[in-house]
């Protein structure tokens, strides 16, 4: 069964990839964004238990 955990930075940490997206949105489209947070989504096609999929292990 495929699982798709989302990997994010902790809210207290700055997100350099998100800041880059803000700069590009302003430069390319003239859109001012206050904040952008990036999310990495990984597909794992394996039989895993709920304990193995604990959300905390995927957080930077």
What is the predicted pLDDT for the residue at 2? 86
What is the predicted pLDDT for the residue at 7? 85
What is the predicted pLDDT for the residue at 60? 53
Pairwise CA distance, residues 13 & 32, whole Å: 21
60 residues of the chain, pLDDT tens digit each = 788 888 888 889 999 999 999 999 999 999 999 999 999 998 988 888 777 777 665 555
What is the predicted pLDDT for the residue at 55? 61
Whether 17 and 49 have beta carbons less than 8 Å apart is answered as: no
């Amino acid at each position: 069964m495929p699982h798709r955990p989302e990997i994010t930075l902790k809210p207290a940490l700055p997100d350099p990839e998100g800041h880059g997206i803000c700069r590009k949105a302003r430069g390319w489209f003239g859109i001012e964004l206050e904040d952008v947070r990036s999310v990495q989504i990984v597909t794992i096609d394996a039989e895993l238990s709920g304990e193995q999929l604990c959300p905390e292990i995927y957080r930077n």
